Copies of this chain bind each other. A is one copy, B any other.
Amino acid sequence: MPGLLGEYDLRVTARARAASLRPAVTLADVAREAGVDQSTVSRVLRDDHRARATDETRARIRETADRLGYVPNASARSLAVRKTSTIGLLIPNVSGVIYADVIKGAADAASALGYVLVVADGSELGRANDAVRKLVLEGRVDGLLLASGTLTDQVTDDLLGSTGNVVVLNRQIAGKVPQVIEDDEYGMYLGTRELVDAGHRRIACLAGPPDVDTSRRRVKGYKRAMREAGLTVTAGLVVHHDFDEASGYAGMLALLGQQPQPTAVAAASLAAAVGAMAAARDQGIVIPDDLSMVAFHDAPLANYLCPPLTTIAMPLEELGRQAMQMLHRRLVGEPGPAAVTVSDPSPIVVRRRSVGPPPG
């Protein structure tokens, strides 16, 4: 076995580079060595259709390139063709369990379309700002996928203008910013319905920050389910916090402080739900006996919680894939819709053991 990662050509090339610290082998080198012109080499190596060079010539060129360990230089090519064939994915917190799927979807699509995908961490505003400037404006990438569910409207709004090389993931934004969204409203509707179907009437919503679009849409879905069931959402039943464990913990405490206590809660994020479960536990409340819970978004982790958490799984991978495809379309000038909502697969609730009938 020739090594899992390194295929043959890769290793050879690396060695060639390492051995001689020279500026790497260039097109001219190959041309000289093969006794042809640079442009010819360029053409055959790129399979340029107008280069039906003699089979003999092509073979010789290919062989020489291989032997010398030629690898095209991305900067030079980019400069010449005015594009980099790399696209960036900006994510608020790269290590959020939720993002694994969108990264995978985007990466798959990217590689299928001939791009290389790089992801940038946008957890801090400063860093996000920097990333955008360094990546898009300076032309390190041809386009940007913005998965900043947590940035406020103001931000993206300012940033985007009507640039055609950015597509926004799962944020509904006024104006003509290209965007692909999922039906968060429906997802949360489904999750909440799971709770009303189990017989709950006093159902709370553990929401995200009030000014974040995704949070708003999820709350909307929650409210629709409540309304449809003839349930009223009284003040205090929806509490706004952040999308992390600590916030979920605090939010749950707030919810539990009310009279009468809710018998079920729909959490707008998985991390918050984890925190919420811990809070409940600390208050001596057992799930699902005393309290039922569903969380928005699914991940392996949910299956190992105590108890295993019923979640609503969103088509995150498809989101990433379609965003990438839309970006590509725009980059090559195909028109296409300015916004699509991914509905296949549609949101689905993954039933585990965190919801039961209301107590008593």
Contact = CB atoms under 8 A, between A and B. Distances in A.
Interface residues of A, number: 92
B121 A103 contact: yes
A17 B151 contact: no
Contacts of A19: 161
Interface in A268-300: 274-275, 277-278, 281, 300
A341 interface: no
Interface stretch (A68-76, A218-226, A323-331): A68-76
B97 A103 contact: no
A140 to B, nearest CB: 5
Contacts of A11: 158-159, 161
Contacts of A278: 303-306, 308
A103 B111 contact: no
A358 B9 CA distance: 56
B127 A111 contact: yes
Interface in A1-28: 1-7, 10-11, 13-15, 17-19, 21, 23-24
Given A5-B128, A74-B140, A75-B78, 9 more contacts: A3-B158, A4-B155, A6-B159, A75-B76, A84-B140, A94-B100, A94-B103, A118-B135, A278-B303
Interface of A: 1-7, 10-11, 13-15, 17-19, 21, 23-24, 71-76, 78-79, 82, 84, 86, 88, 93-100, 103-104, 107, 111, 116-121, 123, 125, 127-135, 137-140, 151-152, 154-164, 244-246, 249, 274-275, 277-278, 281, 300-301, 303-306, 308
